Amino acid sequence: MQDQRLIVGVYHLSKSFGKYFALKDINLQVANGEFVFLVGPSGAGKSTLLRLIYMDDFPTSGQVVVGSFVSTTMKRNTIPLLRRKVGIIFQDFRLLEDRTVFENIALAMKVTGVGIGEIKRQVTDILTRVGLYHKRYDFPPTLSGGEQQRVAIARAVANRPAVLLADEPTGNLDPVVTRNILELLFKINAGGTAVLMATHDLDLVRSFGQRIIYLENGQIVRDREMIYVGDLREKIAESKVSRKAERLREHDITGEQER
């Protein structure tokens, strides 16, 4: 029986490409509603770990559990169903350039087969929340990097996923926009969606007081305690996060690091 409070469970996971081990005996759990940073230098295995979680690839040994999907027993043709429960964003946004902002987000919902009315309502709602409703008929190449990432986030959360995976989502963005995106992710997290964000930028995330998992050479070198939803709600109530976000908003681009 799985722990119902967990959304992602990774157990004794290893992944090798030939003789080279990208990941070695990884164990980590993410609780429902938790916000976790996955930090490590380039090549540490962050992207590989995320890919194994959204099952774009499968482990050499060990197991990945996402909600009710178990990597060792699931059928390949159920992967699309998993993807609808997991939102994913990337450094390079991965939007369809020949579709409007609206169509990009609607696509994620269309594949699940929901009605067009529901799609219109939901997409309108999300676009308003990410502040891009006025750009709904624009094509991604005409948008700024930050705007494109917000569209990607909107698409990722369109199906109300239980967890959002973010692979270096701010890698291409300047500091101000980076903070905007982080704020948006916090906001989504506050709505109950767990977020697992990979980044190489420790300084960026150190100040937020979230759980940070350090990954180096394919191994977890440090992991702070898992925070269950109850604790997290408390934390939000303490509004450490929101205060942080508030302060960030006022912060100008000095590039100063907060401690």
At closest approach, how far in Å is the CB of 255 from other proteins? 33
Backbone angles phi, psi at 30, to 5 degrees: -120, 130
Could you say which of 11, 21, 60, 82 contacts other proteins (CB under 8 A)?
Answer: 82
Q: What are the Cα distances from residue 97, in Å, to 94, 126, 163?
A: 9, 20, 25
Query: Which of the ranges 95-103, 126-134, 171-179, 235-243 carries the binding residues for other proteins, by CB under 8 A?
Result: 95-103
At closest approach, how far in Å is the CB of 196 from other proteins? 16
Instruction: Give the nearer residue to other proteins in terms of CB position, either 88 or 220.
Output: 88
Instruction: Give the nearer residue to other proteins in terms of CB position, either 50 or 65.
Output: 50
**Would you call 142 helix, strand, or coil by DSSP?**
helix
Token pair for 221: 């070198």
Cα distance between residue 182 and residue 186, in whole Å: 6
Cα distance between residue 81 and residue 35, in whole Å: 23
Residues 216-255 that bind other proteins (CB under 8 A): none
129 in contact with other proteins (CB under 8 A): no
125 in contact with other proteins (CB under 8 A): no
Q: How many helices (H) and strands (E) does the chain have?
A: 9, 10
Q: Do 186 and 35 meet the contact criterion of CB atoms below 8 Å apart?
A: yes
Helix axes 240-250, 229-238, angle to 10 degrees: 50
Neighbour tally for 208: CB within 10 Å: 18
Which residues make Cβ contacts (< 8 Å) with residue 254, sequence separation at least 6?
Answer: none
Residues 102-121 that bind other proteins (CB under 8 A): 103, 107-108, 110-116
Instruction: Give the nearer residue to other proteins in terms of CB position, either 95 or 182.
Output: 95
Longest alpha-carbon distance in the chain: 51
Indicate the pairing of strand 35-39 with strand 69-70: unpaired
At closest approach, how far in Å is the CB of 228 from other proteins? 27
Query: Which of the ranges 32-40, 80-88, 123-131, 250-258 carries the binding residues for other proteins, by CB under 8 A?
Result: 80-88
98 in contact with other proteins (CB under 8 A): yes
At closest approach, how far in Å is the CB of 84 from other proteins? 4
Could you say which of 15, 46, 150, 155 contacts other proteins (CB under 8 A)?
Answer: 155
Residues 51-70 that bind other proteins (CB under 8 A): 54, 56
96 in contact with other proteins (CB under 8 A): yes
Binding interface with other proteins (CB under 8 A): 54, 56, 76-77, 79-84, 88, 94-96, 98-99, 103, 107-108, 110-116, 155, 159
